[in-house]
Amino acid sequence: MLERRKIRMYKIAVLAGDGIGPEVMAEAVKVLHAVEKKFDLEFDFLEGLAGGAAIDAYGMPLPESTVKLCEECDAVLFGAVGGPRWDGVEGRLRPERAILGLRKHFGLYANLRPAVLFPALIDASPIKREIVEKLDLLIVRELTGGLYFGTPKGRDESGGKVRAFDTMTYTEHEIERVAHIAFKAAQKRKKRVTSVDKANVLETSRLWREVVEKVARAYADVELCHMYVDNCSMQMVTSPVQFDVILTENTFGDILSDESAVLTGSIGMLPSASLGDKKHYLYEPTHGSAPDIAGTGRANPIACILSASLMLEYSFQAADASTAIKQAVTKALDEGYRTSDIYTGTGKLVSTNEMGDIIARLTERCP
């Protein structure tokens, strides 16, 4: 008797955004189509407007219809938003508000940014081969607390002297929940968490350390160490392969994750996942809308393709399909295909569209 294979069906909200967003998104969707049949998955892609494109259509960066569409879906795949065209709009209507609004609406408090140096790209990294070889780290950044959201914040004036202030706050709960995500991620990797703080100066960091140590007791198989953020930023360029999972608060994570991006050769290679307590997780490349190269076919779609691979892993528990995409990316790079941002004079220079075709084809052929 023929065995009936069960097809798993998922709805994906596709918010391509502005600039190179739609260009890289088209390639990620292409690669997702390539895993459907092979891994018994079926995707329904529902497109929504966000960022500048939504400002043009609705006068706001995150219209209610887009939020509703995301709510109806199992995961959100986001491209990039922004561009000079909307630089003049007032703060609360800026395109970037779309992403902040989604984070807030879906309570996405943990941002995961893997930074992997593909062996074929070692010469694209500005760091010496012997230092950066075998780099494979994951930054888990707290996303909804700390300095960026703490109140009071503002400006005042007294006696003709202007003062500006921001507040850094963290509750035990905020630290605890993101720490669990970091330890769980470490259990699937090399079982090492480096918690990064500034506990020698900041009260929030002292609480951070205390809570992380408490959480660590539930993960006896994971080794925990603490590091001050200034030291960490130095270690990141002098000895980055020592890291497995870096767990840190919002502002430190913002800065350290951009530093990790540089190690891998191009920001066009870096995916990210934002997780929370509800099922609606969001996946996006870490780069912006790159208006300087939009429409030229020079955008690297790999960050967006790898974001789709993270979606398969974290939202759909389809580790086999996720791995197939990662292997296809590795193979495309090993075979010498390069978009202009990672082209160092050797290999085959390809367009955004061609890179997507190649990765989709290799994904279909993965064993």
Length of the chain: 367
Site mask for ligand NAD (CB under 6 A), range 90-109, x = bound: ------x--x----------
Contact status: 289 vs ligand NAD (CB under 6 A): yes
Strand partners, 215: none
351 touches 339 (CB < 8 A): yes
Q: Which residues of 119-135 are buried (b: 16+ CB within 10 A; e: fewer)?
A: ebbbebbebeeeebeeb
CB nearer ligand NAD, residue 117 or residue 290: 290
Q: What is the DSSP string of 245-293?
A: EEEE-HHHHHHHHHHHHHHTS-GGG-EEEEEESSS-EEEEESS---TTT
Q: Residue 202 corresponds to which tokens in the numbers above?
A: 């900041």
Q: Is 165 exposed, middle or buried (0-12, 13-18, 19+ CB in 10 A)?
A: exposed
CB nearer ligand NAD, residue 186 or residue 306: 306
Contact status: 83 vs ligand NAD (CB under 6 A): yes
Residues of this chain, 8-37, that bind ligand NAD according to CB under 6 A: 20, 24
CB nearer ligand NAD, residue 28 or residue 178: 28
Q: Return the half-sphere exposure (C-beta side, CA atoms, 13 A cut-off) of residue 10.
A: 25
If binding means CB under 6 A, how many residues of this protein chain bind ligand NAD? Answer: 22
Q: Confirm whether 109 is a catalytic residue.
A: no
Q: Which amino acid is at 329?
A: V
Q: Confirm whether 258 is a catalytic residue.
A: yes
Distance CA 288, CA 24 (A): 11
Q: Confirm whether 244 is a catalytic residue.
A: no
Site mask for ligand NAD (CB under 6 A), range 153-192, x = bound: ----------------------------------------
Catalytic-labelled residue, pool 38, 74, 136, 148: 148
CB nearer ligand NAD, residue 286 or residue 322: 286
Q: Which of 247, 232, 15 is nearest to 110 (CA)?
A: 247
Q: Confirm whether 148 is a catalytic residue.
A: yes
Residues of this chain, 229-288, that bind ligand NAD according to CB under 6 A: 267-268, 284, 287-288
Q: Which of 77, 25, 85 is nearest to 54 (CA)?
A: 85
Catalytic-labelled residue, pool 190, 254, 320, 343: 254
Place of tokens 């790898």: 306
Q: Confirm whether 44 is a catalytic residue.
A: no
196 touches 229 (CB < 8 A): yes
320 touches 326 (CB < 8 A): no
Angle at 285 between CA 16 and CA 114, to 5 degrees: 155
Angle at 24 between CA 21 and CA 29, to 5 degrees: 110
Contact status: 80 vs ligand NAD (CB under 6 A): yes
Residues of this chain, 314-353, that bind ligand NAD according to CB under 6 A: 341
Please report how close the Cβ of residue 223 comes to ligand NAD at its closest, in angstroms. Answer: 33
Catalytic-labelled residue, pool 87, 230, 277, 292: 230
Please report how close the Cβ of residue 339 comes to ligand NAD at its closest, in angstroms. Answer: 6
Stretch that binds ligand NAD, among 3-11, 38-46, 81-89, 155-163 (CB under 6 A): 81-89
Exactly one of 54, 116, 303, 311 binds ligand NAD (CB under 6 A); which one? 303
Which residues are identified as catalytic?
A: 148, 198, 230, 254, 258
List of residues contacting ligand NAD (CB under 6 A)? 20, 24, 80-83, 96, 99, 267-268, 284, 287-293, 299-300, 303, 341
